Structure formats: structure tokens, C-alpha cells
């Protein structure tokens, strides 16, 4: 018997707050009723505020993988060429999906320890005089590695070349946790889902789309039905969906949007940055290594930690689960067994984080992993030196 609260410290699905659970605890209503139309309009308009866009946001009953597929089938045709960067496991999966649809992928190789490099993207586009590349596809926050790509810099790199390629960004683990600006960064398709920064159960996929992307959808040759944007947008105009929506998840989405906006997006982003920095303070004190090697790309959502040679990350995670009822994220594909991932996203606060770091430190001792004790104290000191107000202005005053 495991007593007490289970600590779900994986980088998504994130724990669902009680407030959202209560919001979803509602009878299913007629999805053709005026009552539902009010809910539909609320979540569609609210999602625009989270993506920071004035353009349409399409919500599918799907996983984030479904939202990936929607981005592809609405904009590209078989035989098209796209440019992608190997930032980790999820960038690799998106590449594989594109290949299944007959898309030719120019995959910039990476070492899984940093985000996409804007200069490399610029060089590839500058060399594409025939404009064969139809889209640049980037994972904003690579959940497998804890590296966040600099989308604003990538947008600037694309603009310097004058290349007409679409910019498509996976925000699955960043939206609602990391600063993201669909309109300002001129993103054409932003892909996301419900179980990360939105703090919901899995089941909703999102596409925020530009007019340029909609224009591409009118001329591309990829078959689609369930994921057709225009079929969604027609009834969306009045708050409805073309097929049965995930009604109770939409109740939760309305509450999640309210929670994010009540805190203020800038404050949400600053809180995540602060908790991530405290986590790195603990990891560095333990004498362990953060997987991401580029400080300006450290993820606010999770920290991936390399295990010392001769120690298996999955065995360590099992020790933590068995002894302290806490789940840590596994290493995926190339880094399987080599890293564990500490999630600090969603409703996470100081005490939640310190409890998680305490479990990690005790687990390191029980598992016999070489480390220097006192990492939790280092995280506490970092948090004590920063004001409780998570506003960006306050964080700038005291430093990072």
C-alpha cells in the first residue's frame, strides 16, 4: 500500500488541478444546443488568447499526435519537401509521420542536447533557390531532452532568406508554460494538446493556423476528412463542431484557460522559469549533469538529468516509485536508461517542487547513485533569494 498523494513529476500528462476536475464533473449536454454553443465559443476564443493569436484555433478530439497529423494533411502534398531539426525523440516521431504521408524530409542532425539551430535553418533555406522546401517544422520544447528551441530567432532566420516556406511549430509541451507568440513570431501552424500546460487529461489536440496556412490548405493534395480544418471552421463560427466533441474536456478547458488568464500568462511563464532554475540548482549541487547544454535553451517545463556511468536511470526511477510514490519521466529512444526527467509544469509550485526534489535526493541515496547531498537545500536557497511574486519584473530585479 502506498500512502499519501502520488507525485506525478513526469513532463506530461501533468497533474489535473482539483478546480479543473470539478469543472469537468458535469452531465453531458446536447452538443447542438445553445448552451453548448456558449461553451464552444468560450473555449475557441479563450484558446486564441493562450496561443496569442487573433486567427482561428481548431480543437480536435485527439491526442497531440492527431494534431501533428492535422498540420501535415492540411498544408502539404505527397512529394513535398520539408525541413526539420533532430532535437530529440518527438522531432524524430514527427519526421516519421511526415514520411508516412510521402513527404521528403531534410532532417538536420542533432545531438539531443540543444534546440534547433537558427543558423543551420537559415543556411538550408538560403541554398534552396528553387523554393522546394514547403515548410520548416520545429519542436518548440523537446520533451525528451529538456531543450527549448528559439522560435523567434528561427522566424528571423527564415525572414532573412525571404523564403516562402511555412513555419510549423510543435508546442505540445510548451503552450501555457513557456512564452509562445503565434502571431508575433509569424507561425503558420502551431500544434498542441490538452495534457501539458493546459493541465487537462489527454484527449484534445489543437491547431492554431495563419491565413497563409489556410491558403495552402485550399490547394494541397493530401486527403483528409476527420482532420479537415475547413470542415471544423464552418460550425466553429457559431460555437459548434462537425462531429461529437469531447464535451466534458471542453468544460475543463474553459476552466484551465480561466486559471491561466487569472494568474496572467507572463506570471505563468515566470513561475515556470523560476521553478526550473531551482531544479537545476539542485541537480548541479548533486554533481549530476543536465542533458541540455545550452543555457539559453533550458526548458522551463522539465529538466532531463544524466545518470553517472554504470547507473541505470530506469532502475533509479523504479526505486523512487517503490519507496516514495513518485513517478519521474523515462529516457526515450537514444537516451533510454541514460536520463530521468523531472517535470515542473502546470500547477506546480514551490512546495510541490521541493517535495519532488526531496524524493529524487532520497532516491539517489537508496539507489547508491554517487551524488553530493544538499541539492534540496540548494533549491530552497535559490527560491528563498527570489521573491514569491512570480512577475517577470521582480525576477529581473533579483537576477536569474
Residue ranges for the binding site for substrate?
Answer: 341
Beta bridge partners of 170: 139, 191
Please answer whether residues 23 and 155 qualify as being in contact, where contact means their C-beta atoms are separated by less than 8 angstroms: no
Percent helix / strand / coil, the chain, rounded to 5: 45, 15, 40
> Which DSSP string do the residues of 182-250 spell out, in sequence order?
TTTTT-SEEEEESSSTT---S-EEEEEE-HHHHHHHHH-----STT-HHHHHHHHTTT--SS---HHHH
Q: Which of 150, 90, 88 is nearest to 121 (CA)?
A: 150
Q: Can you tell me the distance from the alpha carbon of 85 to that of 2, in angstroms, rounded to the nearest whole number?
A: 42
Looking from the CA of 85 toward its CB, the CA atoms found within 13 Å total: 33
State phi, psi for 3 to the nearest 5 degrees: -95, 155
Peptide bond into 13 cis (omega under 30): yes
Q: Can you tell me the distance from the alpha carbon of 186 to that of 138, in angstroms, rounded to the nearest whole number?
A: 14
Give the number of other CB atoms < 10 A from CB of residue 101: 16
Q: Which residues are annotated as a binding site?
A: 341
Kindly provide the residue ranges of all beta strands, DSSP E only, lying in 262-306, ordered along the sequence.
Answer: 289-290, 302-306
Nine-digit cell string for 125: 533555406
Q: Can you tell me the distance from the alpha carbon of 200 to that of 197, in angstroms, rounded to the nearest whole number?
A: 8
Q: Can you tell me the distance from the alpha carbon of 296 to that of 305, in angstroms, rounded to the nearest whole number?
A: 17
Q: Can you tell me the distance from the alpha carbon of 151 to that of 187, in angstroms, rounded to the nearest whole number?
A: 9
Amino acid at each position: 500500500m502506498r500512502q499519501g498523494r502520488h507525485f506525478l513529476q513526469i513532463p506530461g500528462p501533468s497533474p489535473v488541478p482539483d478546480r479543473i476536475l470539478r469543472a469537468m464533473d458535469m452531465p453531458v449536454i446536447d452538443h447542438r444546443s445553445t448552451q453548448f454553443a456558449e461553451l464552444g465559443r468560450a473555449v475557441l476564443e479563450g484558446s486564441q488568447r493562450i496561443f496569442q493569436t487573433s486567427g482561428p484555433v481548431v480543437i480536435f478530439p485527439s491526442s497531440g499526435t492527431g494534431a501533428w497529423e492535422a498540420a501535415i494533411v492540411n498544408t502539404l502534398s505527397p512529394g513535398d519537401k520539408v525541413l526539420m531539426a533532430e532535437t530529440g525523440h518527438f522531432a524524430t516521431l514527427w519526421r516519421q509521420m511526415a514520411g508516412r504521408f510521402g513527404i521528403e524530409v531534410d532532417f538536420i542532425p542533432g545531438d539531443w542536447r540543444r534546440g534547433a539551430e537558427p543558423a543551420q535553418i537559415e543556411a538550408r533555406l538560403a541554398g534552396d533557390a528553387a523554393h522546394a522546401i514547403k515548410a520548416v517544422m520545429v519542436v518548440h520544447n523537446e520533451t525528451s531532452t529538456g531543450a527549448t528551441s528559439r522560435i523567434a530567432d528561427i522566424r528571423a532566420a527564415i525572414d532573412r532568406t525571404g523564403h516562402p516556406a511555412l513555419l510549423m511549430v510543435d508546442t505540445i509541451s510548451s503552450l501555457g508554460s513557456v512564452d509562445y507568440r503565434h502571431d508575433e513570431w509569424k507561425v503558420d501552424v502551431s500544434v498542441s494538446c490538452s495534457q501539458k500546460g493546459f493541465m487537462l487529461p489527454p484527449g484534445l489536440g489543437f491547431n492554431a493556423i495563419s491565413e497563409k496556412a489556410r491558403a495552402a490548405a485550399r490547394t494541397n493534395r493530401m486527403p483528409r476528412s476527420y482532420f479537415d480544418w475547413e470542415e471544423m471552421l464552418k460550425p466553429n463560427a457559431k460555437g459548434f463542431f462537425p462531429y461529437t466533441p469531447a464535451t466534458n474536456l471542453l468544460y475543463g478547458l474553459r476552466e484551465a484557460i480561466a486559471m491561466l488568464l487569472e494568474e496572467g500568462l507572463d506570471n505563468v511563464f515566470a513561475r515556470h522559469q523560476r521553478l526550473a532554475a531551482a531544479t537545476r540548482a539542485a541537480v548541479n549541487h548533486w554533481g549530476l549533469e543536465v542533458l541540455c547544454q545550452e543555457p539559453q535553451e533550458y526548458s522551463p517545463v522539465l529538466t532531463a538529468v544524466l545518470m553517472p556511468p554504470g547507473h541505470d536511470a530506469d532502475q533509479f526511477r523504479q526505486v523512487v516509485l517503490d519507496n516514495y510514490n513518485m513517478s519521474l519521466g523515462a529516457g526515450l529512444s537514444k537516451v533510454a536508461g541514460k536520463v530521468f526527467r523531472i517535470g515542473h509544469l502546470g500547477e506546480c509550485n514551490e512546495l510541490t517542487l521541493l517535495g519532488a526534489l526531496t524524493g529524487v535526493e532520497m532516491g539517489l541515496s537508496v539507489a547508491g547513485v554517487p551524488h553530493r547531498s544538499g541539492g534540496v537545500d540548494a533549491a530552497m536557497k535559490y527560491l528563498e533569494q527570489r521573491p514569491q511574486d512570480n512577475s517577470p519584473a521582480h525576477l529581473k530585479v533579483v537576477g536569474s
